[in-house]
Chain A
Amino acid sequence: MKFIDEFRDKAAVLALSEQIKKESRHPIRIMEVCGGHTMAIQRFGIPSLLPETVELISGPGCPVCVTSRAFIDKAIAYSRLPNVIITTYGDLIRVPGSTSTLDKEKAEGADIRIVYSILDALEIAKHNRRKKIIFLGIGFETTSPATAAGILKAEMAGLFNFSVYSAHKVMPPAMAALIDAGVNIQGYLGPGHVSTITGSKIYDFIAQDYGLGVVISGFEPTDILQSVLMLVRQFENRKPAVEIQYSRAVKPLGNPKALAMLEEVFYLADDWWRGLGVLNASGMKIKSKFAAFDAEKQLEVEVEPTREDKGCICGSVLKGVAKPSDCKLFGKACTPSDPVGSCMVSNEGACAAYYRFVR
């Protein structure tokens, strides 16, 4: 138990904080691109431990938040079809579509079921052979291997009433797009859990071509502070590099078996991100070999025209150019219990984290 205490040890936290203050001379803005970090940073009050020269900003690390409204609208349209069961992770259910949410559709009688795992969705498919079971696949590389495994399993079991509607995304194109868009950042706090799958090499181009450091961080206060210190050192020495602070869980080559499954099932396609627009080769679509399990290939549906909310600045928040508190709706018209934008819906969203811990 001594080990755990060391990660939260007050003296260690203060020592790291002091060291950062000592070493940071030039202003540096560091972006985190992992919903888990967004929560941890606010929860542990990390900003209060940093000098004025170091600013942490949230990026597009929350899967629910970057997902397009058009995706929600299409999922809702699927849920209105006869003999369809929608299966989804819980955080998607309250995300506003153009005129409805999955939650509202469920209340009105649509068969929408929250599952913990895609394996549960396969069980539902096994026991409802006459119905079509659609699994809503969202998330980054932490979650997409499970979807790939689910599709492979469905094929093996001959569960042809099962399909996936995929909005899976990959992180590196978004990290490049933010720099291309001129967002003022000097380093990335690299995503911890995404990197357990991908490894660290996928970020090499950020350091080599863009000259920004990436430090893959754990989720404890000392983890985050140590990662910030590593980025500050890189920046002060003008030696941007990719480093792994979270070495107890992340290996440079990631998880080869999971990566092989992703490669087998998905291909990269252009995809739309809230705040960033369409990014080249940033979305994961299902290969034609598995078209039998691709909801978009199996079911035709008419989708209402997409309508974005006026006033919600979620896109700017995800891009790191606005803080949640800059939004006129924040904490007033938009709260976690009655969210207007996706950044307030998900626990991992920057607005939800600010609402809970900073406000």
Chain B
Amino acid sequence: MARCSVGQAEYEASLQMLDINELAVGDYVLLHTGFALQKISEEEAIETLKLFDEFEAFNESLDEEEKQSGQRIV
């Protein structure tokens, strides 16, 4: 198992699907349902992290919209 951080959140991820010899602390992985599916380049990871920040902002804007309209959107 590995400890992975996604933004401010920390997850445990199984490394069962990857070759441990090819992994090191500090690497980025494609994380899905608790498993690291693929090792990815640092550039790729940073990009994904930025996307998540945007999702967060997007979700906040949806929350705001919900508050103002009084309707549930998502």
The reply to whether chain A is a binding partner of chain B is yes
Given A118-B33, A149-B17: 16 more A-B contacts, CB < 8 Å: A1-B46, A3-B43, A116-B33, A117-B34, A119-B12, A142-B32, A149-B14, A149-B35, A196-B30, A196-B38, A257-B16, A261-B17, A336-B74, A337-B74, A356-B73, A356-B74
Residue A143 at the chain B interface, CB threshold 8 Å: yes
Q: Give the complex CA separation of A119 and B44 in angstroms.
A: 26
Q: Which residues of B contact A149 (CB under 8 A)?
A: 14, 16-17, 35
Q: Counting CB contacts under 8 A, is A145 at the interface?
A: yes
CB-CB nearest 5 A-B residue pairs: A117-B34, A337-B72, A3-B43, A4-B47, A258-B17
Instruction: Take A4-B47, A337-B71 as given contacts and tell me if A143 and B32 are in contact as well, using a CB distance cutoff of 8 Å.
Output: yes
Give chain B residues whose Cβ lies under 8 Å from the Cβ of A356: 73-74
Within 8 A of A (CB), among B1-56: 12, 14, 16-19, 30, 32-35, 37-38, 40-41, 43-44, 46-47, 50-51
A3 to B28, CA, bound (A): 16
8 residue pairs bridging A and B, Cβ less than 8 Å apart: A4-B50, A116-B33, A117-B34, A145-B35, A146-B35, A249-B38, A249-B44, A258-B17
- Closest beta carbon of chain B to A347's beta carbon, Å: 7
Q: A149-B14, A257-B18 are in contact. Are A120 and B34 (CB under 8 A)?
A: yes
User: Quick one: which of A112-130 are within 8 Å of B by CB?
Assistant: 116-120
A298 at the interface (CB under 8 A from B): no
Cβ A255 vs Cβ B47 within 8 A: no
Pick the residue among A117, A120, A193, A249 that contacts B35 (CB under 8 A): A117
- Please report the C-alpha to C-alpha distance between residue A255 and residue B40 in the assembled complex, in whole angstroms: 12
Chain B residues whose CB sits within 8 angstroms of the CB of A120 once the complex forms: 34
Q: Is the CB of A7 within 8 A of B47?
A: yes
Chain A residues contacting B30 (CB-CB under 8 Å) are: 193, 196, 249
Cα-based distance from A13 to B11 in the complex (angstroms): 34
Bound form: Cα–Cα A7–B12 in Å:
29
Q: Which of A4, A196, A219 has the most CB of B within 10 A?
A: A4
List the B side residues contacting A220 at CB < 8 Å.
Answer: 47, 51
Provide the residues of chain A in CB contact with B34, threshold 8 Å: 116-120, 146
B35 CB to closest chain A CB (Å) equals 5
Contacts of A332 in B (CB 8 A): none
